[in-house]
Structure 1
Amino acid sequence: MKAFILLLINMCIFVYNASAQTPDLAITKATYEFIHIRDTANRTKPYKETMVLLSGRSASVYRSLTKQQQEEKMANEIANQVKGAADPNHLSLTITGGGVISNEEYYQYPATKKLYTEEKIINFYLTEEPLPVINWTIQNDTLSIGTLHCQKATAHFKGRDYEAWFCADLPFKNGPWKLNGLPGLIVQAADIKKEVIFNFMGFEDISQSKQTIQPPADDIKTQPKELARLKEARDKDPQGFMKSTHGNFNSSSRNTGLPLASIDPNKISSINIIKGDNSNSKTNNNPIELPEKK
Structure 2
Amino acid sequence: MKNLFLSTAMLLSVVCFGQKPDVAVGKATYQYIHIRDTTNRDKPYKETMALLLGRNASVYRSVTKQQQEEEMANQVARQVKSAPDPNHLALTITGPGPVSTDEYYQYINNKKLYVEEQVINYYLTEEPLPTIKWAIKPDTMSFGTLHAQKATTRFKGRDYTAWFCTELPFHNGPWKLSGLPGLIVEAYDAKKEVVFKFMGFEDVSKLNQTILPPADDIKTTPQDLARLKEARVKDPAGFSKAAHGGGQQRRNTNSFMSSIDPSKIASINIVKSTSDNNRINNNPIELPEKK
Choose from 277, 282, 289 the match for 1:285: 282
**Aligned position for 1:7:** none
Count of residue pairs brought into register by the alignment: 274
Partner AA of 2:186 in structure 1 = Q
1:179 aligns to what? 177
What is the CA–CA distance in structure 2 between the aligned matches of 1:132 and 1:47, rounded to whole Å?
25
The answer to whether residue 260 in structure 2 is matched with residue 263 in structure 1 is yes
1:31-50 counterparts in 2 under 5 A? 31-50=29-48
Question: Per the alignment, in what secondary structure is the counterpart of residue 283 of structure 1?
Answer: coil
Q: CA deviation at 1:86?
A: 2.2
RMSD: 1.6
Change (3 A) 1:20 1:56: farther
Q: Mean Cα displacement is larger for which, 188-197 or 230-239?
A: 230-239
Decide whether aligned partners of structure 1 residues 183 and 257 sit closer, same or farther in structure 2, where only a CA change above 3 A counts. Answer: farther
Give distance in 1, aligned partners of 2:174 and 2:222: 20
Residue matched to 1:223:
221
Instruction: Give runs of aligned pairs for residues 31-180 of structure 1, distance below 5 A.
Output: 31-180=29-178
Structure 1 moving runs of 4+ over 4 Å? none
Identity %: 68
Secondary structure of the 2:278 match is: coil
What is the identity, as a one-letter code, of the residue corresponding to 1:119? E
Unaligned runs of at least 5 residues, structure 2:
1-16
Question: Which letter does structure 2 place at the counterpart of 1:269?
Answer: A
How far apart, in 1, do the equivalents of 2:253 and 2:127 lie?
A: 26
**Deviation string for 1:183-208 (max 9, x for gaps)?**
00000000001110000011111111
1:176-255 → structure 2 map (5 Å cutoff)? 176-245=174-243, 247-252=244-249, 255=251
Aligned to 1:273: 270
1:232: Cα distance to partner?
3.2
In structure 2, the CA distance between the partners of 1:235 and 1:147, relative to structure 1 (3 Å rule), is: farther
Cα shift at 1:97: 1.3
Aligned-partner residue type, residue 272 of structure 1: N
Q: Contact (CA 8 Å) 1:115, 1:128: kept in 2 or not? A: yes
For residues 89 and 101 of structure 2, what CA distance do their matches in structure 1 show?
A: 29
Contact 2:186 2:198 (C-alpha < 8 Å) held by counterparts? yes
CA distance in 2, matches of 1:258, 1:291: 37
CA distance in 1, matches of 2:116, 2:161: 26
Contact 1:220–1:250 (8 Å) recurs in 2: no
Compute the displacement of 1:81 (Å). 1.3
Q: State which drifts further: 233-242 or 28-37.
A: 233-242
| Deviation (angstroms), 1:20 | 5.9
Say which SS state the counterpart of residue 232 (structure 2) adopts: helix
- Aligned partners of 1:235, 1:111: CA distance in 2, in Å? 37
What secondary structure, in the 3-state scheme, does the structure 1 residue paired with 2:25 have?
A: strand
- Contact 1:20/1:58 (CA < 8 Å) preserved in 2? no
Distance 1:236 1:183 in 2: 45
Q: Which amino acid aligns with 2:102?
A: E
Aligned to 2:25: 27
Deviations 1:142-179 (A, max 9, x none): 00111110000001111111000000111000000000
CA-to-aligned-CA distance 1:58-81 (integer Å, 9 cap, x gap): 100000000010011111111111
Cα pair 2:69 2:252 within 8 Å, conserved? no
Matched to 1:177, the amino acid is W
Output the amino acid matched with 2:148.
C
CA distance in structure 2 between the aligned counterparts of 1:256 and 1:45, rounded to whole angstroms:
27
SS, match of residue 276 in structure 1? coil
Give the counterpart letter for 1:32 in structure 2: Y
Is the CA contact (8 Å cut-off) linking 1:172 and 1:183 kept in structure 2?
yes
- Partner SS for 2:110: coil
